[in-house]
Amino acid sequence: MQHIFDLVASAFVALGIYKYAFLFVMALIEGPIIMTATGFLLHFGQFDLLGAYMALTLGDLAGDFCWYGLGYIAGKRMAIKFGKYFSLDEKTINRIEKIFHRHHEKIIFISKITMGFGFSLATLITAGVARVSLKKFGFYNLLGGFIWTGLIMGLGYALGSAYTVINEGFRVVFVVASIITIMAALYGIQRFIRAKFSNNNGL
């Protein structure tokens, strides 16, 4: 495991200041996983807190803007056509769209810190379909993103702290088990929130 850390450390040293650009791109692709990993590595001094925090928050926001733009440009018909790839159908779009028109500020903010009520991509795409104000979408999404990024990075940092006190022979098992547990927990929480949200709103 130490060899892996040495390799990662060398890679980030080689990247220099561009390591924050790397975090930005990775957060755009897959936010929670890279945020957790960054928090973990932050404990070992691989990143500056502010630089990593901003890169992850803005990268995640950029990814959200991409999905919003898809809904805005493609419109409802195309969103429905390709929605099956994102667990998105006409009924879900119509329901979320109605909710957006009534409570779009709250929905954008709360969905960011609840993984989109379990409809993460559907929520972002429908925001574009519903023509939610780009300014409001960006503001409330960024506000929620600051909280979301901090929480997930904090989780990763806590794992880094725990890692240092675990017997060296169990560290590989600890890392693998932690990754599996986090992914399962996020998936389970997402399904739970989605079920509760669906029941409360008739989705």
Residue 84 confidence (pLDDT) above 90: no
Dihedral sign, CA of 9, 14, 15, 16?
positive
pLDDT, tens digit (0-9, with 9 covering 90-100), for 41-55: 888 888 889 999 999
Q: What is the pTM of this model?
A: 0.74
pLDDT classification of 169: cutoffs 50, 70, 90: low
Tally the domains of the chain.
1
- Both tokens of 67, joined, read 């999905």
Residues spanned by the domain of 61: 2-201
